[in-house]
Amino acid sequence: MSTPDRTANAPPLDQPAFARLPRDTGGPVFAEPWQAQAFAMAVRLSAAGWFTWQEWAQALGEQLRLAAARGEPDDGSHYYEHWLAALEQLVLAKGLSNREMLRERKEQWAEAYRLTPHGQPVELSAAMHGDHAHARVLGN
């Protein structure tokens, strides 16, 4: 894993990388918490120097091109799925994680989701690594 260039800063939201970002007059809008988290992770990793905004724009643009080639509608409904795919691509390319670690974490979140009562926030317990009994609900 290489050391990040900590001199890089996240750009303002009027940059081309954010041109298709769902927003209202107050800024970015998120239909679900995971979308805001994916957004924040990309901004934070770039600000920490792990990738540049040019790299980010290229990765996101590639995901959007692939979606168009698959015939997905360009209506914004899948925008953050493409954002997340671009983020995963960069995390792998920069050696911040590997496919197995990503797969395991996705499985842990899926299991926590299945074990969480309807209407309750889903949380991944730090102790959940392989032990499904440790998925817990916030506030309990």
Residues 67 and 43 placed together within one structural domain of the fold: yes
- Residue 36: inside a domain, yes or no? yes
Residue 9 within any structural domain of the chain: no
Tell me: do 83 and 41 sit in the same domain: yes
| Together in a domain, 57 and 83 | yes
For 110, phi then psi, to 5°, come to -65, -40
Q: What is the pLDDT of residue 56?
A: 92
Does 87 lie in the same domain as 35?
A: yes
pLDDT of residue 123: 85
pTM beyond 0.85: no
Same domain membership, residue 104 and residue 92: no
Residues 70 and 109 placed together within one structural domain of the fold = no
CA distance 45 to 117: 32
**How distant, in Å, are the alpha carbons of 47, 62, 71, 103, 119 from that of 106?**
25, 22, 26, 5, 20
Based on the fold, state whether residues 37 and 87 are members of the same structural domain: yes
Which of 76, 81, 90, 2 has the alpha carbon at shortest distance from 43?
90
Residue 17: inside a domain: no
Is the domain of 36 the same as that of 90?
yes
Segments forming the whole domain that contains residue 111: 99-140
Examine residue 18 and state whether it is found in any structural domain, yes or no. Answer: no
Does residue 79 belong to any structural domain of this protein?
yes
Contact 52, 90 (CB under 8 A): no
Q: Which pLDDT does position 18 carry in this prediction?
A: 57
- Number of domains composing the chain: 2
Tokens representing 59 are: 């990765």
Q: In terms of domains, do 89 and 103 share one?
A: no
pLDDT in tens, the chain (140 residues): 555 544 444 455 555 555 566 667 766 778 888 898 999 999 999 999 999 989 999 999 999 999 999 999 888 889 899 999 999 999 999 999 999 999 999 899 889 889 888 988 888 874 354 444 444 433 33
Going along the chain, which residue ranges are E strands? Answer: 23-24, 27-28, 122-123, 136-137
Please, are residues 79 and 85 in contact by the beta-carbon 8 Å criterion?
no
Whether residues 46 and 78 fall in one domain: yes
Tell me if 86 is assigned to some domain: yes
Both 73 and 112 in one domain: the answer is: no
